[in-house]
Amino acid sequence: MATWLITGCSSGLGRALAEAVRDAGHQVVATARDRATLDDLAGDRVLTLALDVTDPAQIAAAVAEAEAAFGGVDVLVNNAGYGYRAAVEEGADDDVRRLFDTHFYGSVALIKAVLPGMRSRRSGAIVNLSSIGATMTPVGSGYYAAVKAAVEGMSGSLRGELAPLGISVTVVEPGVFATDFAGRSLTQSATVIDDYAGTAGTRRIENVVKKPAPGDPVKAAAAILRAVEADEPPAFLLLGSDALDTYRAVMRARLDEVDRWEDLSRSTDFS
């Protein structure tokens, strides 16, 4: 039995993961900004807590309550977050800072809060949710792609630092899943610049044609659980056929371009 602390459990992937972990016989600390959304999850092996990941005091309190209830956090899943659509020029500074406070600095603060316990036990797992958007860098999602790329870069270094201590770090890049991400969890800039109507403008909330999502959150939760429980958890995990196909296409195109410009790249060495 392990203790999982999962953020963003009010709906979507976070909710599905909390249920999967509970049903697998583990203990769960399920968190959300509004604790009332978690009432139906509460039980003997499930502790529900209010947690705003941008509030350091709430983070410290949540980890302390988890340790008091279950003796420590074995697995941390940084899942809380939301989307933000804007052309780069349209993005409001306050909105962008709030996005980074939630996705990046909130994740870092939680990692720092659980690591002393994990280090003392010489075991643990950290799962940081990213997005295929970090690889795709689609128009209109520059800031969201940037914050997820920051999470991925930090996670890669963290994995190397923690591997000798028996602690794994996994980045998860999901594709499109049937969650509330494209609903209440999606925000956008108040500023609209007409010159971007044909690029970023096509992805504004009012212009997006809703299509059925190919990804099943229940299956995604099961996949994350399986990855964490593997003898060697992956450093990087794609979820969804759309994510897998997109990632390969982007990597192939990038390698093709690297090859085309190889001579210029090599020309900068000392003779």
Residues annotated catalytic, as ranges: 130, 144, 148
Vertex 133 angle, CA 128 and 137, to 5°:
130
What does DSSP say about strands 167-174 and 83-85: parallel, antiparallel, or unpaired? unpaired
Q: How far is CA 34 from CA 9, 39, 50, 52, 53, in A?
A: 10, 10, 6, 9, 12
**55 contacts 162 by C-beta, under 8 angstroms:** no
Phi, psi of 186 (to 5 degrees): -115, 125
**For the residues of 104-125, what is the DSSP string, one character each?**
IIHHHHHHHHHHHHHHHHT-EE
- Report whether 73 contacts 59 (CB < 8 A): no
Give 2-47 as a 3 state SS string. Answer: CEEEECCCCCHHHHHHHHHHHHCCCEEEEEECCHHHHHHHCECCEE
124, amino acid identity: G
